[in-house]
Amino acid sequence: MSTPTGFMEYKRELPIDRDPAERVRDWQEFHKHMSSEQLRTQGARCMDCGTPFCHTGIELTGGTSGCPVNNLIPEWNNLIYRGLWREALDRLHKTNNFPEFTGRVCPAPCEGSCTVGLIGDPVTIKTIEHSIIEKGFEEGWVVPQPPKVRTGKRVAVVGSGPAGLACAAQLNKAGHKVTVFERADRIGGLLVYGIPTMKLEKHVVQRRVDIMEAEGVDFVTNTEIGKDVSAEQLVSDFDAVVLCGGATKARDVQMEGRELKGIHPAMDYLNGTIKSYLDSNLEDGNYISAKDKNVIVIGGGDTGSDCVATALRHGCKSVTQFGTHAKAPLERDIVNNPWPQFPNVYTLDYAHEEAKAIFGTDPRAFSVLTKNFVGDENGNIKELHTIQIERTVDETGRKIYKEIPGTEQVWQADLVLIAVGFEGPERTLIDQLGLEQDRWSNVKARYGKYVTNVDKVFAAGDMRRGQSLVVWAINEGREAAREVDKYLMGSSVLP
């Protein structure tokens, strides 16, 4: 323990973000950094409790409690307090291949289950994690570490998102020759095309990819398995295949007026902007622009929030984000949402802070159901019709949405973005290989084993579990690598 009374002596502090009204003028990350002394103080707040719930990594009532990659949080908090940054980096890398990703984009379920949070504000875990890895890069401590011995086994990893990269890194560490196939023009999967640059600048992803290449991992871009290379050929050419393609089939809304121009899937909007920015700093114009438009985002999750932030940077006239969920309470409901569950409380995400700074109000509209779209004489979206709803749960636990008469409303809209989640993985590989699916259409492979019904073929990440967090993808990629190593060698020393 750093200091037994640190959690009582020191208050929780976070780095001061860049001013919301200023940062919407560019596409750079919005976080600032804390000094080493500030971080030392924050590390001192860790209780080193007997049961460190922060790194348990379990799911409770549909949410994540603790860190899914089981980060040894009390250990590196103590090391930071003692000024042992290099040792803290070693402990961090022991469980997490990519703390530079999770330290930026993870919602930090570890902090939600921090024991200090029972009596006050939790430890600043995410900020400390981010600072450790960035210190490691600054000091030159993060360097390629190729395996000393090669096994002669060849493994194909399909998909270069966090699950695919974690799996590839671990398998390469075990000495196998790994080739990662990516259908996009850049390596990174949703880390590149999916998460906006203001949350995760893409040079951060490329920095890690360069290290993995130097360690011996091969990356093949612009190659879609199932189209450019058949799935059967891949299985024939490699000793094992790990499918980490994600849950990329977007869910749509079916209602009157859906065919109108100006209504787009959220990922088309986000990915087009990201690619245009990376290719030409948006000068090529190959993206859906929200400039001078009234924007409606349907969907209350992170993807919808990213659409809000992107629309603000385009220079939209207005932006509103619809959610079917009710507005969360200001304080944790200790009966229905007790610790160590992730706290469901009202907060302003980075995008909502920015919208409030520009337009004066939180852009979210809660408990809203879209009924239909209305267009103009040229077939363009003109307005949305909505109604307020009330959500209840029946005796079986099923959610029921009841419309509230008299709450109908009309919203002006020039651009509508659909961000209502994903239906699961695309079917090309599934059909070609004859893979079994679960009732949610994901590839069927038991958690912890990752073996499919097809010999030599494994599945991990969102393709197996459905849409989830980056940190869960890293967890599954690492564990799948261990199981593949066992399959190839009979045993494994991988964690």
Q: What is the pLDDT of residues 153-207, one digit of tens each?
A: 999 999 999 999 999 999 999 999 999 999 999 999 999 999 999 999 999 999 9
Looking at the predicted structure, is the pLDDT value of residue 224 above 80? yes
Write down the pLDDT at residue 445.
97
- Domain shared by 465 and 341, yes or no: no
Looking at the predicted structure, is the pLDDT value of residue 493 above 80? yes
Residues of the chain with pLDDT > 90: what percent? 91
Question: Which residue range(s) make up the domain with 177?
Answer: 154-249+423-489
Q: Could you give the 3-state DSSP secondary structure of residue 127?
A: helix
Domain of 360: which CATH number?
3.50.50.60
- Domain shared by 413 and 429, yes or no: no
- Domain shared by 235 and 178, yes or no: yes
pLDDT in tens, 275-320: 999 999 999 999 999 999 999 999 999 999 999 999 999 999 999 9
- Domain shared by 259 and 180, yes or no: no
Q: Decide if 494 is inside a domain.
A: no
How many whole angstroms separate alpha carbon 117 and alpha carbon 473? 26
Q: Which residue has the higher pLDDT, 395 or 172?
A: 172
User: Do residues 345 and 329 make contact, with C-beta atoms less than 8 angstroms apart?
Assistant: yes
Go through the chain and tell me how many residues it has: 495
How many whole angstroms separate alpha carbon 54 and alpha carbon 340? 9
- Domain shared by 35 and 184, yes or no: no
- Domain shared by 221 and 314, yes or no: no
Residue 146: CB atoms within 10 Å: 13
> Among 391, 420, 449, which residue terminates a domain?
420
Write down the pLDDT at residue 156.
98
pLDDT in tens, 436-467: 999 999 999 999 999 999 999 999 999 999 99
Q: Decide if 237 is inside a domain.
A: yes
- Strand residues in 366-426 grouped as ranges (E): 368-375, 381-393, 399-403, 409-412, 415-418, 422-424
- Domain shared by 396 and 297, yes or no: yes
Looking at the predicted structure, is the pLDDT value of residue 62 above 80? no
Q: Decide if 148 is inside a domain.
A: no
- Domain shared by 117 and 185, yes or no: no
Mean pLDDT of the chain: 95
pLDDT in tens, 267-282: 999 999 999 999 999 9
Looking at the predicted structure, is the pLDDT value of residue 126 above 90? yes
- Domain shared by 165 and 310, yes or no: no
Question: Residue 395 — pLDDT band, cuts 50, 70, 90?
Answer: confident
How many whole angstroms separate alpha carbon 8 and alpha carbon 246? 43
Q: Decide if 198 is inside a domain.
A: yes
Q: Decide if 116 is inside a domain.
A: yes
User: Per DSSP, what are the bridge partners of residue 399?
Assistant: 393
Write down the pLDDT at residue 159.
98
- Domain shared by 383 and 450, yes or no: no
pLDDT in tens, 72-101: 999 999 999 999 999 999 999 999 999 999
Q: How many domains does the chain have?
A: 3
**Element (DSSP H or E) covering residue 181:** strand 177-181
> Among 420, 450, 474, which residue terminates a domain?
420
Q: Which residues contact 84 (CB under 8 A, 6 or more apart)?
A: none
Geometric angle at alpha carbon 273, from 271 and 277, rounded to 5°: 115
Write down the pLDDT at residue 1.
61
**Mean pLDDT confidence for 129-143:** 98
- Domain shared by 383 and 441, yes or no: no
Write down the pLDDT at residue 228.
97
Domain of 64: which CATH number?
1.10.1060.10
Looking at the predicted structure, is the pLDDT value of residue 50 above 90? no
Q: Decide if 275 is inside a domain.
A: yes
Looking at the predicted structure, is the pLDDT value of residue 402 above 80? yes
Q: Decide if 38 is inside a domain.
A: yes
Q: Decide if 146 is inside a domain.
A: no
Looking at the predicted structure, is the pLDDT value of residue 215 above 70? yes
- Domain shared by 362 and 414, yes or no: yes
Q: Are strands 218-220 and 63-65 parallel, antiparallel or unpaired?
A: unpaired
> Among 370, 385, 420, which residue terminates a domain?
420
Write down the pLDDT at residue 95.
97
